């Protein structure tokens, strides 16, 4: 299959790299590329929603899997879905939510593929109770560098399962998977909104989140002193039919119809500055009301998906999303240290999302375990931002935290190795499966997961 030369980026539009893409539509074509393709190495790519360079491969091959997007089977009674890795979460929702089944967990966008979600071991607003996607993954099929097909599960090829779950695509190509979906009565969520005055109140609001399947908080990261960490906490459960007002109860599983907006061009960098970010955050906080509300699933899970190409608001230089994790014993001091540094630097982060996390999965490089995670967006400003993110990495290391690889674009190999103590186990399995480094990404080179190629 002929490769196409393209300039590609992740969702953050930083970095931008020249790569050679192929788009196989059959397993046979994919197998031929992996075993006999013209590029020395490849990395799989789905819908390009990893923020940094995890799905880039500078000057080398990219296997785009979006044409391998078929449902293979679905058991209406058990909710077990088997599908190819290129199926998106949006497609699963489109066809199966009207039949009373929903994703067991989901990130903040539905525009991710099943293969990419496994490679990043994605998590959602229910991590505090149920953990990440890996806890709902029955098994998957992996195409290895030798051309072999391995079935991997918590019971079969267990070590490869653990290395591939959250392994950022470096052990092979995920071909298909079986997922356990969850039964729902409606396409709506019953949400309690609580406004908080500072970080102590925000964290205290999570104390009752065991009563709610979903919990998340928006945090104003540009406040300081007694208002540092103020926010809006959202606690939700799937709405039952009896919870819905009469008009919605007539068709509880109907998907909402919304007019999608689109950002038609990249904004000039001058639009995003500390003053505009501060004004936006203050307006968002003041406009939010407290109390109970019924909202559709799109509004609750995917508020940014409503605006197509929203990443363009950060302009041509792009942005970096920095998602940090702290364990429970250091979360309070670690979050204060991060928020104070961001507030002091007056970095223009419009998005600051705080969640409580729960049980870890089996993934050797999976991101979360019990604690708290904070996601921040920063416009890419070159050396100034690199310096700030390096300082935030130091805060993480001091507090026993780590950075989410699916968002990472800048951290160093030394910091990564210190954050992920099971890296040697992962490297041993990758070396056994892929001794010639057939699967490589730009991120893997930057983090010294593979030797520089």
Q: Which residues does 374 contact at the CB level (< 8 Å), separation at least 6? A: 219, 323, 324, 326, 335, 338, 352, 353, 354
- Looking at residue 305, its pLDDT comes to 84
Token digits of residue 31: 């197998």
Q: Which residues does 416 contact at the CB level (< 8 Å), separation at least 6? A: 403, 408, 423, 447, 448
CA distance 146 to 262: 43
Compute the 3-state secondary structure of the chain and give helix, strand, coil in percent, each to the nearest 5: 35, 25, 40
- Looking at residue 276, its pLDDT comes to 67
- Looking at residue 285, its pLDDT comes to 72
Quote the pTM value: 0.94
- Axis-axis angle for helices 383-398, 328-345 (nearest 10): 160
**Do the Cβ atoms of 186 and 248 come closer than 8 Å?**
yes
DSSP state of 239: P
**Do the Cβ atoms of 374 and 330 come closer than 8 Å?**
no
For the beta carbon of residue 302, count every other beta carbon within 10 angstroms: 18
pLDDT tens by residue, 130-154: 999 999 999 999 999 999 999 999 9
Residue among 305, 326, 370, 357 nearest 123 (CA): 357
Q: Residue 380's Cα: distance from chain center in Å?
A: 19
Which segments in the chain show pLDDT lower than 70? 259-279, 347-350, 452-453
Question: Read out DSSP for 344-387?
Answer: HHT---S-EEEEEE----S-TT----SEEEEEEEEE--THHHHH
- Looking at residue 297, its pLDDT comes to 96
Three-state DSSP state, 236? strand
Q: Is the peptide bond before 15 cis (omega within 30 degrees of 0)?
A: yes
- Looking at residue 228, its pLDDT comes to 86
- Looking at residue 45, its pLDDT comes to 98
Sign of CA dihedral 199, 231, 128, 12: negative
Token digits of residue 17: 């790299």
Q: Which residues does 401 contact at the CB level (< 8 Å), separation at least 6? A: 324, 325, 326, 327, 330, 334, 371, 395, 419
Torsion of CA 387, 389, 394, 396, to 10 degrees: 170
């Amino acid at each position: 299959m002929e490769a196409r030369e393209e300039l590609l980026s992740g969702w953050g539009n930083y970095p931008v790299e020249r790569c050679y893409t192929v788009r196989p539509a059959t397993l046979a074509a994919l197998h031929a590329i992996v075993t006999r393709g013209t590029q020395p190495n490849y990395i799989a790519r789905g819908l390009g929603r990893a923020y940094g360079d995890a799905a880039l491969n500078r000057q080398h091959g990219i296997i785009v899997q979006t044409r391998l997007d078929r449902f293979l089977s679905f058991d209406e009674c058990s909710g077990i879905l088997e599908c190819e890795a290129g199926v998106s979460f949006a497609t699963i929702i489109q066809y199966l939510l009207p039949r009373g089944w929903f994703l067991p967990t989901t990130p903040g966008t539905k525009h991710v593929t099943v293969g990419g979600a496994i490679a990043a071991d994605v998590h959602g607003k229910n991590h505090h109770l149920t953990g990440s996607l890996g806890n709902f993954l029955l098994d998957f099929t992996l195409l290895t560098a030798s051309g072999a097909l391995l079935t991997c599960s918590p019971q079969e090829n267990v070590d490869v399962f653990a290395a591939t779950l959250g392994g950022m695509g470096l052990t092979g190509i995920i071909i298909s998977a079986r997922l356990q979906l969850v039964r729902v009565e409606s396409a709506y969520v019953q949400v309690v909104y609580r406004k908080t005055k500072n970080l102590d109140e925000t964290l205290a609001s999570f104390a009752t989140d065991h009563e709610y399947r979903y919990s998340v908080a928006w945090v104003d990261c540009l406040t300081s002193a007694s208002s540092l960490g103020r926010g809006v906490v959202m606690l939700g459960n799937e709405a039952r039919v009896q919870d819905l007002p009469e008009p919605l109860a007539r068709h509880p599983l109907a998907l909402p119809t919304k007019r999608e907006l689109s950002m038609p061009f990249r904004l000039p960098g001058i639009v995003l500055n500390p003053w505009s970010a501060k004004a936006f955050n203050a307006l968002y906080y003041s406009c939010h009301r407290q109390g109970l509300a019924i909202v559709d699933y799109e509004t609750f899970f995917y508020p940014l998906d409503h605006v197509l190409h929203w990443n363009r608001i950060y302009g041509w230089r792009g942005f970096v999303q920095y998602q940090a994790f702290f364990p429970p014993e250091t979360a309070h001091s670690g979050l204060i240290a991060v928020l104070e540094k961001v507030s002091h630097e007056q970095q223009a982060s419009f998005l600051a999302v705080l969640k409580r996390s729960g049980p870890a999965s089996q993934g050797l490089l999976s991101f979360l375990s019990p604690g708290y995670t904070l996601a921040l967006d920063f416009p890419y400003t070159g050396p100034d931002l690199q310096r700030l993110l390096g300082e935030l990495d130091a805060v993480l290391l001091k507090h026993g935290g780590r950075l989410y690889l699916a968002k990472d674009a800048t951290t160093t190999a030394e910091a990564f190795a210190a954050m992920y103590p099971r890296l040697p186990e992962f490297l041993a399995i990758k070396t056994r499966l892929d001794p010639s480094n057939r699967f490589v990404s730009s991120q893997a080179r930057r983090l010294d997961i593979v030797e520089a190629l």
